[in-house]
Amino acid sequence: MDCAFIHYCGGYKYQLARNFWIHLPIKGREVVTDYFTLTKDGLLTIHAGYAWDGPSGPTVDTPSFMRGSLVHDALYQAMRLGLLPQACRKDADMILRDLCLEDGMWPLRAWWVYKAVRRFAAPAARPSHKKQIITAP
């Protein structure tokens, strides 16, 4: 018999169409999930189909913000899942800033983005901030 219910999470705006990989300065830790992997030498691979909410807060989703928001969301998700320590949050925030700058974000905006995540984003990295699973019907 088929299951009569679906279980899903809300809050996502974007879905990765192809695998994405990047070398990060976060070394010595191995993270493996269905959605992304981080090797001990710092290679982060985010798999096609990964969903994320894009840039958060009072901001505009611009091309210079998308790659940084993708990597930042994956790293914060790893912290929420307890797969990376909370001590990695500052690294994740600096990586966000650096990727935004590499992708052409105006330096003053990248500075504000960095300051905003340092000031306001800590709860999003905590295990208590996991996405709620919704059941329907």
User: Is residue 130 a part of any domain in this protein?
Assistant: no
- Taking 3-state DSSP, the helix, strand and coil percentages for the chain, each rounded to the nearest 5, stand at 40, 15, 40
Note the Cα 58 to chain centre separation in Å: 17
Q: How far apart are CA 129 and CA 84, in angstroms?
A: 15
Kind of pairing between the strands at 43-46 and 36-38: antiparallel
- pLDDT of 8 reads 81
Number of domains observed in the structure of the chain: 1
Where the chain has pLDDT below 50, the residues are none
The residue range of the domain holding 35 is: 11-51+59-125
Q: How far apart are CA 105 and CA 109, in angstroms?
A: 7
User: Is residue 132 a part of any domain in this protein?
Assistant: no
